[in-house]
Amino acid sequence: MTLSSLPIVRLMPKADVRAIRHGFPWVYSNEVVLDRRTKALPAGTIVLLQDAERRDLAVATINPASKIACRVLDLDLTAQINATWIADRISRALAHREGMFAEPYYRLIHAEADGFPGVIVDRFGEVAVLQPNAAWADAMAGAFAEALRDIAGVTTVILNGSGRARGLEGLDDLTEILLGTAPQAPIHVPMNGATYMADVMGGQKTGLFFDQRPNHAFAASLANGAEVLDVFSHVGGFGLACLASGAKSALCVDGSEQALSLAQKGAEASGMAERFAVRHGDAVEVLAALADEGDSFDVVICDPPAFAPSKKALDAGLRAYERIARLAAPLVREGGYLGLCSCSHAADLTKFRNASARGIGKVGRRGQIIYTGFAGPDHPQLPQLAESGYLKSVFFRL
């Protein structure tokens, strides 16, 4: 499709044109002229974005039904959004990851930061899990699958169409095989000296969280000879890494029996089952119960789901993070370590850190911050988009 044949979407005079020119990838619905013609465009249509003075700005995509009405795909006005364009950008993303990781287990595409608005791809060896969380990518899922096969050499591509983001785009909740055959068992993923089990067909998100890899490694550096508590553990993220670094024991707590079963299998595959235990239940209730039982640990890590997924939920989310810190701190032995994590983009580092410190202080503990961590380098941040830097991890010595 040539530039002259693209439908035109025009910005309102109040829209921040400079931000778009400087790399901000989103245009909100109140910033575009949503006339009858524009509203009739199918979600995912490739368009030419113009400012209010009819000057060409970018090649973009539109979803008239979404709060994010337009997503900028390319500031190069000659760009043609097709299979070749997708393959070129995947090649760039792959070159970055291959230079860092000896084995092919990583996030291959991290949405806007890799030039693919709304697109996530996690790689598990020869299997890639694609999350097209924007209408344009959903419509081009087949082209993504073929490019992943041709460029990255994967043999299976799974479309994981679940999650809140797709709902906001008006997209269906589905899982399907785009290429190859579905894995018949969880995939063994080597990371930080342990083996993790990724259920890419029925697990949470894409099956494993690669973003915490460097924070797992830091926690593991504290854990030699330690008794470790990993709360909201999913498939054993922090606990297994700590065991691989010589922890005396690790107890993983999660509300999902399926996730804990995968954590147990990971411990067995890693040869660490005799030092590993799980406890199924609501994390808040288990933290309180452990305190009542008089338990304590050398290292405690809490990695909850996003308590503040939006600005509207920020205040309640910060109170929830404070509560977790307040419940977890009494379980840490004198001189031990408490790691607290947030994947809420609406709660910036300062707000999250302050909420955590309040929770620690309210139970009479005092902490030194010894480490602040973020997502790994396979989850790059787009400087213009705060949402791409969602993960924070703060470790205290109490």
Residues 234-263: pLDDT tens digits? 999 999 999 999 999 999 999 999 999 999
Place of tokens 């989310």: 317
What number of H helices and E strands is found in the chain? 12, 19
| Catalytic hit among 242, 252, 302, 343 | 343
Percentage above 90 pLDDT, the chain: 91
Does 1 score more than 60 pLDDT?
no
Sign of CA dihedral 164, 170, 173, 175: negative
**pLDDT score recorded for residue 235:** 97
> In sequence order, what are the beta bridge partners of 252?
230, 278
Please name each of the domains of the chain with its CATH number: 3-74 (2.30.130.10), 83-179 (3.30.750.80), 188-397 (3.40.50.150)
**pLDDT score recorded for residue 325:** 98
Contact indicator for 96, 108 with CB cutoff of 8 Å? no
pTM: 0.94
Report DSSP state, residue 273.
G
Does 103 score more than 80 pLDDT?
yes
70 catalytic? Reply is no
pLDDT interval class at 195 (50, 70, 90): very high
Output 174 or 366, whichever has higher pLDDT. 366
> In sequence order, what are the beta bridge partners of 221?
none
